[in-house]
Structure 1
Amino acid sequence: MYQPLRTAHTETVRIRNLDYHVRTWGDEAATQPPLVLLHGWMDVGASWQFVVDAFGEAFFGSRRILAPDWRGFGHTRPAAPCDHYVFADYLADLDQLLDHYAGAAPVDLVGHSMGGNIAMFYAGIRPARIRRLVNLEGFGLPATRPEQAPGRYAQWMDEIRRHERGELALKTYGDVDGVAQRLRKTNPRLPADKAAWLAREWAALGPDGRWAILGDDAHKIVNPQLYRVDEALALYAAIGAPVLSVQSDSDSLGQWWKGKYTLDEYHQRLGHVRDVRTAVVQDAGHMLHHDQPQVVAQRIEDFVAGPA
């Protein structure tokens, strides 16, 4: 099984009536801005361990690195059962997490997938708080039309009922090896040793003796509000920090949306960011920070620590 090279510490921070679980590496007294790592949907903060282990010694030694578990993921669980989650809550959660860890000082922000989308929106809302931003495959969503709203709200209400009936429950596994196999089925590039380690962070043994994914099944319920591209572009345009957008060479966006939303459209949207550059990671899929952690770590390090 994979053995982490750098020891993580975990702590709990009270944020908006939630006990937020945060994984940290490095020295609180580090001289450079904190590096905040935001995980994606159905993932956990521990997912960044492979990238943290790949950072150079000088870079790692100069920073405190933080990786929260988003609400409803990992060990940040609501005190009472929840039947849906609202995207805007992640923005407010991040705002107060940065209050706690950085005060008024700007941070360097890295987000993957959903975490990348949160990072892009947040950087437009609070531009002074972000020094550099790295977005790993946070593509946003296909454009919608106002006339889709009635159907979307109906779908949301129907899925809440399905959730109440237990129809959206996540699969459980008889042992931790089953969890590791699930991780490798989703991402065949993930080495077996890393899957075995990550399985113990991504799932936990339940009272029924089965391993359950550390993600609330209510996250499967559709967002009732449409994705409004004009609002997203306004937020992109308000970003003050330099942005590095990183994607894999496998076009995961095209695989998901099958022509409804393309990489060309995403790059057109990026044109609204005033200071942006792009990079491609070869031989990687959507989980590029698992597939090529050394390459991703070097991209982050070069961009964040490089000259203005």
Structure 2
Amino acid sequence: MSATGLYTTEHGEDGPRIVFCHGLFGQGRNWTQAAKALSPDHRVTLVDMPNHGRSEWTEDFSYLDMADSVAGLFSAADPVTLVGHSMGGKVAMALALRHPDLVDRLVVVDVSPVTYDAGRREFAGYIEAMKALDLASLESRADADAALRGAVPNATVRSFLLQNLRREGDQWRWQLNLALLGDELEALGGWPELDETSDVPVLWIGGANSPYVLDEYAPAMERLFSRVRRVRIKDAGHWVHSERPDVFLDVLRSFLD
């Protein structure tokens, strides 16, 4: 655990540093495949965001506070390539704007600096389903999967959510701060008002089937960042880096090179 209360995992010992920030309901280890692929010639840091994974919980939600917390992990003497998906992408953008000396390059994955209304009801349903799970009666993760099946019929989504279920001794607990995330869904879908702009090089990756990176959002991105390269990956939705991992890595490596 770092001094900022964030849990991190490191891969690789040499080369430029890359820091990955995951999205809502995720953990740093969601980026393990990319980290291992990049680790021969990069130092890779995977971050558990606040209220997720093994990082500390907070009393309120703020993209600016999260950005400042992640910024505490590194220094201007060793600026990083910062990669963020969804919620983590908004954190990464806010960090690059507030702490430009810390970021050498920025990769924003399937999110835009705008406020979203769509998806909030779906995410609220996931949170309520997880909160409703009777942890005291669980004997196995398979029991939890079966109990969530009615509320979360998609097996891939269930598996993703259940990665946050941790057994400690004879007890099960959620690593997610479900109460806070449930209360702050409106803020999670929002974007903070920022006056700063940046000329850091930005790779803006979107899934071709995703509604989170649209042409109409380009002006908002370009108002904040003057050097934006936008890439759309075919046959991919919001989870573009897990749906098309090889293509995602090829695009990322091209940007890094």
| TM-score band w.r.t. shorter chain | 0.7 to 0.9
Q: What is the Cα-based RMSD across aligned positions, in Å? A: 3.4
**Structure 1's 228 and 37: CA in aligned 2 closer, same or farther, altered over 3 A?**
closer
Query: Which residue of the partner structure matches residue 182 of structure 2?
Result: 220
Equivalent residues in 2 for 1:131-170 (5 A)? 131-142=104-115, 170=131
Structure 1 outlier segments of 4+, above 4 Å: 166-169, 178-183, 185-188, 198-201, 206-210, 223-229
Q: Kindly indicate whether residue 177 of structure 2 is the aligned counterpart of residue 243 of structure 1.
A: no
Q: Kindly indicate whether residue 68 of structure 2 is the aligned counterpart of residue 116 of structure 1.
A: no
Structure 1 unaligned regions, length at least 5: 1-11, 145-165, 254-261
Q: Deviations over 1:259-280 (max 9, x none)?
A: xxx7232112122221111111
Q: What's the % identity of the aligned pairs?
A: 21
Highest Rg: 1 or 2? 1
| Aligned mates of 1:244, 1:115 — CA distance in 2 | 15
Q: Deviations over 1:141-176 (max 9, x none)?
A: 3389xxxxxxxxxxxxxxxxxxxxx97963447432
1:301 deviation in Å? 1.3
Query: Which residue of the partner structure matches residue 299 of structure 1?
Result: 251
Structure 2 unaligned regions, length at least 5: 118-126
Structure 2 counterpart of 1:299, one-letter code? V
- Report 1 or 2 for greater relative contact order, CA contacts < 8 Å, sequence distance ≥ 6: 1
1:84 deviation in Å? 3.0
Q: Is the 8 A contact 1:84 1:221 kept in 2?
A: no
Q: Is the 8 A contact 1:288 1:296 kept in 2?
A: yes
Length-normalised TM-score, structure 2: 0.78
Match of 1:276 among 224, 228, 235: 228
**Structure 1's 249 and 112: CA in aligned 2 closer, same or farther, altered over 3 A?**
same
Q: Deviations over 1:94-133 (max 9, x none)?
A: 121113xxx5221111000011111112111122221111
Length-normalised TM-score, structure 1: 0.66
**Structure 1's 26 and 226: CA in aligned 2 closer, same or farther, altered over 3 A?**
closer
| Aligned mates of 1:169, 1:200 — CA distance in 2 | 9
| Aligned mates of 1:303, 1:186 — CA distance in 2 | 37
| Aligned mates of 1:209, 1:284 — CA distance in 2 | 37
